[in-house]
Amino acid sequence: MKIALVGNQNSGKTTLFNLLTGNNQKIGNWPGVTIERKSGIIRNTDYEIVDLPGIYSLSPYTIEEEVSRKYIFEEEPDLIINIIDATSIERSLYLTTQLLELDTKVIIALNMADIVEKKGVYIDINKLSKMLNTTVIKISALKNTGIEHLISHIRRRDILDNPHSKIYSKSIEQAIDKIKPDMRHSRFIAVKILEEDKMFSHYQSDESTTLIKKLRHEFDSDSEEVIAGERYSYIDKIKEKAIIIKKTKQSVTDKLDRIFLNKWLAIPIFIIIMTLVYMLAVGLVGGITVDFVDTNVGLFSSWLGGKLETINTSPWLISLICDGIIAGVGAVLNFVPQLIILFLCISILEVSGYMSRIAFFLDKLFRKFGLSGKSLIPFIVGSGCSVPGIMSCRTIEDEAERKMTIVLTPFVPCSAKLPIIIAFSSFFFSEYQGLIAVSLYFLAILVIILSAIIMKKFIYKGKVSAFITELPEYKLPSVKYVLRDVFDKTWAFIKRAGSIILICSIIIWFLLSFSWRFEYGVEIANSMLAGIGSAFAWFFYPILGEYSWAATVSAIQGLVAKEQVISSMAIIAGLSEDVTNGSLIFSSTGIFGFFTPLSAYSFMIFNLFSAPCFGAIGAMRRELGSTKQMLKAVTFQTLLAWGFASLVFILGKIIGGIF
């Protein structure tokens, strides 16, 4: 037997799925799209169960809805478990009314039984089951109650056929009867024909067209709207008879919202919170740890170098290990303490429910720019890493908005960009480093809004999707969950240092230590890397006010990984002037000595907003679905970053000249 798990997002499908299947799970992708496909065997049975993407109706507006609908029609499960979040039953029943029109049997699992009554919702299961004419079972997927009951129903095959109750007004029911095709799901298809759903347009006939016209005349509105309206009034009737909703007294969430989501205070509070987060992570913690770690890495490096020398290791190997690997990987690992603090703060803000609530609040503002609160979710995810951020754009219904969000997500400073921000701001803006860091964060928001305006005007025109996600409540973050989240993200960062950064460090060391004629130990100005950098240095002249091959090659390496910019600078600085004690990238006599606070700022801007790393570019290509669109997007990002960085540098020069 094949069973499909169908329900709204966040109704508890995945929780129930994991509970039912235990370890018997298979995860893959749906054919043709990159949405995760989970299937498994219910414990102690041979029933296959599939966790479908969360949907709100069977009229596909999003890729998820399309996938779920296709599954139901093309793979014909024997049974649908319609899982409903009992605390928002009204909204969930809309999908139920559609499912009950199918010929596939439906059993309803009323989830969240553990919290419904706390929310002041009382449901008469018997009445509900009678009115819907189908089996309804109360469960809690989280607390594991009612599950045995659910399984035993499935085992006994004790499930009624769908009743196909006549829920619409007479003229619609008559029309349905007239145009019902002689095949499976006939009632469902008849309704779809009346709704003029494109996917069923090949069933249209002269008769149905006349009927649709007649209905439009009778109701003075689209039949799609009329049918939706009648579904809702049917749901209202059910609600009246089977559900009692008591007003609970004002919850903590409501009280907090009055402050955090206050019309005037919400944005200032958001700014203050983010500023504090960055000042804490970058300013305070960074100030303490950077020098400490840096000095110790330097000491370790010279100690190891000395040891290797005493055992007669050849000079080039010592140089590879100390000046290449330790300098390059160490430069990145320097930032782990700040990252931990930053991840910790963001994770707490996310888990406590604050982030999604501020996204909801900003919804209205973002709509003015062709985005919606939905785009904020990818942005928030993107503050960790752009790749999952870009992937989470799938939940956006509107094609234009989805594509715009994909292109905009890499503008959010991801954790790999943080070493760039911290290294430059701590050296050039010492006591203000926290403020400078947060200024870049807000600059990112500005760049996103500006780009959205540009793209909306010239590239992607479309309407904005509805923002349906309901607000979660504020809750105290679970320590275990937060720590795990912080650990996972930090570990991912460290792993990158140990893999991609390590390999790049070796390559950079090699290119720096050899000339084009493969002579070892040349002046680094004659190295291969210097040659490559010099060829492109003109590109950065308006940003730096200097032809610097070293800064040029470092910035280009941002394509591989953004941390690599700093890692490469550390190796170059180290090799160019025998720094033995710590890797002082910006020593005044060194190769990066030309940097001023102004050019540091404009260089950061370029690195933050130009093309993201290859990983993110790959994700953009997959999600945009075309190489051409990806190339356009990357060009757009890079030109924008270049223009913006040059503008800042030139304006800064002019203003500096006046004062």
CB of 158 vs ligand GDP, minimal distance in Å: 23
Task: Specify the DSSP element, H or E, that contains 589.
Answer: none
Nearer to Mg ion, 51 or 397 (CB): 51
Which residue from 49, 100, 141, 348 is in contact with ligand GDP, where contact means CB under 6 A? 141
Q: How far apart are CA 140 and CA 147, in angstroms?
A: 8
Q: Shortest CA distance to 573 belongs to which of 560, 558, 584? A: 584
* Piece in contact with Mg ion (CB under 5 A), picked from 14-22, 28-36, 172-180, 557-565: 14-22
Task: List the Cα angle 107/111/112 in 5-degree steps.
Answer: 170
Under the binding rule (CB under 5 A), the answer on residue 171 touching Mg ion is no
Task: List the Cα angle 128/134/138 in 5-degree steps.
Answer: 60
* Helical axes 528-544 vs 502-513, angle rounded to 10°: 100
Nearer to ligand GDP, 87 or 275 (CB): 87
Q: How far apart are CA 69 and CA 52, in angstroms?
A: 9
Q: How far apart are CA 188 and CA 356, in angstroms?
A: 36
Q: How far apart are CA 336 and CA 492, in angstroms?
A: 11
Residues 620-649 that bind Mg ion (CB under 5 A): none
Nearer to Mg ion, 66 or 101 (CB): 66
Nearer to ligand GDP, 54 or 337 (CB): 54
Nearer to ligand GDP, 9 or 34 (CB): 9
Residues 447-476 that bind ligand GDP (CB under 6 A): none
CB of 15 vs Mg ion, minimal distance in Å: 8
Under the binding rule (CB under 6 A), the answer on residue 482 touching ligand GDP is no
Which residue from 9, 57, 313, 515 is in contact with ligand GDP, where contact means CB under 6 A? 9
Q: How far apart are CA 38 and CA 609, in angstroms?
A: 36
Q: How far apart are CA 39 and CA 51, in angstroms?
A: 6
Residues that contact Mg ion, how many (by CB under 5 A): 2
Q: How far apart are CA 584 and CA 606, in angstroms?
A: 22
Residue pointed to by tokens 């939905």: 374
What are the beta bridge partners of residue 390? none
Residue pointed to by tokens 């170059």: 572
Q: How far apart are CA 380 and CA 389, in angstroms?
A: 7
Which residue from 3, 15, 509, 574 is in contact with ligand GDP, where contact means CB under 6 A? 15
Nearer to ligand GDP, 14 or 302 (CB): 14
CB of 469 vs ligand GDP, minimal distance in Å: 11
CA atoms within 13 A on the CB side of 66: 14
Nearer to ligand GDP, 374 or 403 (CB): 374
Under the binding rule (CB under 6 A), the answer on residue 12 touching ligand GDP is yes
The interface mask with ligand GDP, positions 36-55, x = CB under 6 A, is: ------------------x-
Which residue from 6, 13, 285, 568 is in contact with ligand GDP, where contact means CB under 6 A? 13
Q: Which two tokens stand for residue 225?
A: 């709207």
For residue 331, the SS3 value is helix
10 binds, among ligand GDP, Mg ion, none (CB under 5 to 8 A by kind): ligand GDP
637 binds, among ligand GDP, Mg ion, none (CB under 5 to 8 A by kind): none
Q: How are beta strands 48-51 and 36-41 bridged, if at all?
A: antiparallel
Which residue from 14, 45, 253, 534 is in contact with ligand GDP, where contact means CB under 6 A? 14
Q: Which two tokens stand for residue 15?
A: 């929780």
Nearer to Mg ion, 14 or 253 (CB): 14
* Three-state secondary structure readout of 167-235: CCCHHHHHHHHHHCCCCCCHHHHHHHHHCCCHHHHHHCCHHHHHHHHHHHHHHCCCHHHHHHHHHHHHH
382 binds, among Mg ion, ligand GDP, none (CB under 5 to 8 A by kind): none
For residue 121, the SS3 value is strand
Under the binding rule (CB under 6 A), the answer on residue 111 touching ligand GDP is yes
Which residue from 3, 49, 112, 137 is in contact with ligand GDP, where contact means CB under 6 A? 112
Under the binding rule (CB under 6 A), the answer on residue 215 touching ligand GDP is no
Residues 44-103 that bind ligand GDP (CB under 6 A): 54
Under the binding rule (CB under 5 A), the answer on residue 14 touching Mg ion is yes
Q: Which two tokens stand for residue 113?
A: 């039984």
Q: How far apart are CA 271 and CA 568, in angstroms?
A: 33
CB of 12 vs Mg ion, minimal distance in Å: 8
CB of 9 vs ligand GDP, minimal distance in Å: 5
Nearer to ligand GDP, 15 or 338 (CB): 15
Tell me how crowded residue 177 is: count the other CB atoms within 10 A of its CB.
12
Q: Which two tokens stand for residue 398?
A: 């509107």
92 binds, among Mg ion, ligand GDP, none (CB under 5 to 8 A by kind): none
Under the binding rule (CB under 6 A), the answer on residue 283 touching ligand GDP is no
11 binds, among ligand GDP, Mg ion, none (CB under 5 to 8 A by kind): ligand GDP
Q: Which two tokens stand for residue 279?
A: 């000042």
* Piece in contact with ligand GDP (CB under 6 A), picked from 11-19, 27-35, 473-481, 611-619: 11-19
* Piece in contact with Mg ion (CB under 5 A), picked from 5-13, 95-103, 313-321, 489-497: 5-13
Burial zone of 516 (CB within 10 Å; 0-12 exposed, 13-18 middle, 19+ buried): exposed
Residues that contact ligand GDP, how many (by CB under 6 A): 16
Nearer to ligand GDP, 54 or 533 (CB): 54
* Piece in contact with ligand GDP (CB under 6 A), picked from 70-78, 106-114, 248-256, 284-292: 106-114
CB of 109 vs ligand GDP, minimal distance in Å: 10
For residue 24, the SS3 value is coil
Nearer to Mg ion, 13 or 456 (CB): 13
114 binds, among Mg ion, ligand GDP, none (CB under 5 to 8 A by kind): ligand GDP
What residue type is assigned to position 546 of the chain?
E
Q: How are beta strands 105-111 and 36-41 bridged, if at all?
A: unpaired
Q: Which two tokens stand for residue 418?
A: 């943080």
Q: Shortest CA distance to 278 belongs to which of 438, 167, 47? A: 438
Residue pointed to by tokens 């509805």: 466
For residue 451, the SS3 value is helix
- What region does 521 belong to: left with phi over 0, alpha with psi -120 to 50, or beta? left
Nearer to ligand GDP, 13 or 402 (CB): 13
Nearer to ligand GDP, 9 or 45 (CB): 9
CB of 372 vs ligand GDP, minimal distance in Å: 20
Which residue from 142, 293, 459, 502 is in contact with ligand GDP, where contact means CB under 6 A? 142
- Which residues of this protein are in contact with ligand GDP, per CB under 6 A? 7, 9-15, 54, 111-112, 114-115, 140-142
- Which residues of this protein are in contact with Mg ion, per CB under 5 A? 13-14
